[in-house]
Amino acid sequence: MAEVTLTIDGQTVTAPEGEKLLWAAEKAGIYIPHLCAHPDREPPFGGCRLCYVEVDGWSKPVTSCTEPVAEGMVVSTRSERVDRLVRSGFELLMSVHDLDCKVCPAKRDCGLRLVSRKTKVKLRSGTLPKLDRGLPIDESHPDIGMNPNRCILCGLCVWVCDEQVGAGVLSFAQRGLDTRLTTFDSEPLGAHDCPTDCMRCVDICPTGALYRKAPPTP
């Protein structure tokens, strides 16, 4: 495949034609915050809105997970506008995320903590009140637990379950702030026949919304 050359944060980068800016940057060791993107996820979801970058000559920041590289493109991953959008977007996400890190199984793997560490935006927002959703936790499945109050609706699990595994167990329901991760027909997770030992949704979840249940104490 043809390669294109572009500049990201002053660094010359080559990438295969059609690759999205986010992955070209990542391969070059340049961090762009992102929560909903996956290299195989086509078309890109574009839901978390944290991956904004500036492209020289363009009037507005664009999401790097959706924008393909182009020859001679000059990209900066930071600018006043980008920083403001990233801060605002992350604070919004955190204002609905149950911050129960002490008991959350995501621990060090947490995608939110990574974004916070890299962007220096605090996990607990100082400006926005916390919106409690109080959604029921589903522990009906033998291996997997689902706590939608930690979910940031990146949709990676829905995508992996539907398009990679082909099981179609997970989906979205409702609208507005009530939008939530749910299962097909809103049945308890345990009522579905997940493929044996498939933990793809748990593995891909950037938060502790889907987690391995602790083995039952005998």
Binders in 22-51 for ligand FES, by CB under 6 A: 34-37, 46-51
Sheet holding 11-16, edge to edge: 11-16, 3-8, 74-76, 52-55, 62-63
Nearest-angstrom CA–CA distance, 66 and 36? 11
Residue 171 interacting partner from other proteins, ligand FES, none (CB closer than 5 to 8 Å by kind): other proteins
Asked whether position 63 contacts ligand FES by CB under 6 A, the answer is yes
- Of 34, 49, 141, 150, the residue at the interface with other proteins (CB under 8 A) is 49
Q: How far is the CB of 175 from other proteins (least distance, A)?
A: 6
Closer residue to other proteins (CB): 129 or 216: 129
Q: What are phi and psi of 78, to 5 degrees?
A: -130, 145
Asked whether position 84 contacts other proteins by CB under 8 A, the answer is yes
- Of 179, 187, 195, 213, the residue at the interface with other proteins (CB under 8 A) is 179
Q: Helices 111-119 and 80-94 sit at what angle, rounded to 10 degrees? A: 150
31 closest CA partner among 159, 117, 149, 140: 117
Closer residue to ligand FES (CB): 160 or 189: 160
Distance from the Cα of residue 183 to its chain's centroid: 19
Nearest-angstrom CA–CA distance, 85 and 68? 20
Query: Six-digit token pair at 75?
Result: 């990209």
Asked whether position 174 contacts other proteins by CB under 8 A, the answer is yes
Asked whether position 157 contacts ligand FES by CB under 6 A, the answer is no
Q: Which residues bind other proteins (CB under 8 A)?
A: 43-50, 52, 60-61, 63, 66, 81, 84-85, 88-89, 92-93, 95-96, 127-129, 131, 152-153, 155, 171-172, 174-179
